[in-house]
Structure 1
Amino acid sequence: MGESRTELLAWLNDLLQVGYTKIEQCGTGAAHCQIIDSIYRDLPLNKVKFNSKQEYEYVANFKVLQNAFDKHKIDNAIPVERLIKCKFQDNLEFLQWMKKFWDNYFPGGTYDAVGRRGGKAADTPVRGSTQKLSTGGAVKKSTSSIAPARATRAGPRSSDMARNAEPANNNQAQLEAEYQKALQDMQQQVMEAKLTVEQVEKEREFYFLKLREIEIYVQQQIETGKHPEEGVLSHIANIMYKTEEGFEIPAGEGAEEETF
Structure 2
Amino acid sequence: MAESRTELLAWVNDLCQVSYTKIEQCGTGAVHCAIMDSIYRDVPLAKVKFAAKQEYEYVNNFKVLQAVFDKHKIDNAIPVERLMKCKFQDNLEFMQWMKKYWDQYFPGGAYDALARRGAQAGSKAAAAAVRANMAPLKKAVSSGVANGAAPGRNPAIAPAAFGAAKSSSDHVKKMDEITIQNTELKNMVEQAEKERNFYFDKLREIEAYVGEMLTNGTNPTTDSLTHIQSIMYKTEDGFVPPSDTDETETF
| TM category, shorter | 0.3 to 0.5
Question: Could you tell me the TM-score, scaled by structure 2's length?
Answer: 0.48
- Which gives a bigger RCO, structure 1 or 2 (Cα 8 Å, sep 6+)? 2
Question: Could you tell me the TM-score, scaled by structure 1's length?
Answer: 0.46
